[in-house]
Amino acid sequence: MTIRIAHLYPDLLNLYGDRGNVMTLMARCRWRGIDCVLERVSIGAAWDPADTDIVFFGGGSDREQGILTRDLSGRAPALRSALADGLVLLAVCGGLQMLGSHYRTPAGEEYPGLSLLDLYTEAGDKRLIGDVRADLTPETAAAAARACPGAEGLTTLVGFENHGGRTWLGPGLPPLARTRPGAGGGNNGRDGGEGVRWRNVFGTYLHGPLLPKNPHIADLLLSLALARQGQPAELPPLDDAEEIMAHKARLGKR
């Protein structure tokens, strides 16, 4: 049993310690005796998404996203096919923005996205910065509870946001979670949505990184990846007392 993880552009997209998400996935595999192979995919590197189980797509500045546009456009068809086949993908901040049709900068310059999801992003007049406390959508909360029974049925999401973009989801495309009143701006500071969930694609604005404080989401990604392989999706429980303590500390912070 092996989980193959691809980290896209780790040399350019690694704001706010986001590589900790990859480290968390690998650690939770190791603690369970599951082999884990990491592939770092940089500009121009050969990579086949069909041979991957989990993709991590982090965040970067507007300049870095512009640099990646041409390389990403060449990867879009293969990535779209793999996602339709159930590939698991976690995209954070800039990675989330690049899943959509475009990102418009404060100067009005427009960077084309991958158009993998029905969403788009435009620069706002001020940054959304601070701790976020959000409630997972019922479908995702139930799936996370099945994947990580040791996490005491957590149905919430915590993290830190720092973004100037305003992301808008198309009709019928659900968010990953809903921010609590006064507890974060989420995708755009207006509609209460945080991130996106489509099939096995998870997008979020939460840094910090996300997965160490949200073990139920980490295990959900691993469970979905195993199920896609035809493996049993039930993961042996871990002692997540410290992770849950960190989660609840953030949840109660105002």
Among 7, 163, 207, 247, which one carries the catalytic annotation? Answer: 207
Look at the chain and report how many structural domains it folds into.
Answer: 1
Q: Which has more pLDDT, 169 or 108? A: 169
First to last CA, the chain: 42
Question: Does pLDDT of 78 surpass 90?
Answer: yes
Domain range enclosing 70: 2-252
Is the pLDDT at 36 greater than 90, yes or no? Answer: yes
What is the pTM assigned to this prediction? Answer: 0.95
- Provide, for the chain, the percentages of residues in helix, strand and coil under a 3-state DSSP scheme, each rounded to the nearest 5: 35, 30, 35
Is residue 207 flagged as an active site residue? Answer: yes
CATH code of the domain covering residue 51: 3.40.50.880
Indicate if 148 belongs to the active site: no
Q: Catalytic pick from 93, 148, 163, 216?
A: 93
Is 161 in contact with 185 (CB distance < 8 Å)? yes
pLDDT in tens, 126-184: 999 999 999 999 999 999 999 998 887 799 999 999 999 999 999 999 999 999 999 99
- Exposure of 99 by Cβ count < 10 A (0-12 exposed, 13-18 middle, 19+ buried)? buried
Q: Quick check: 122 pLDDT over 90?
A: yes
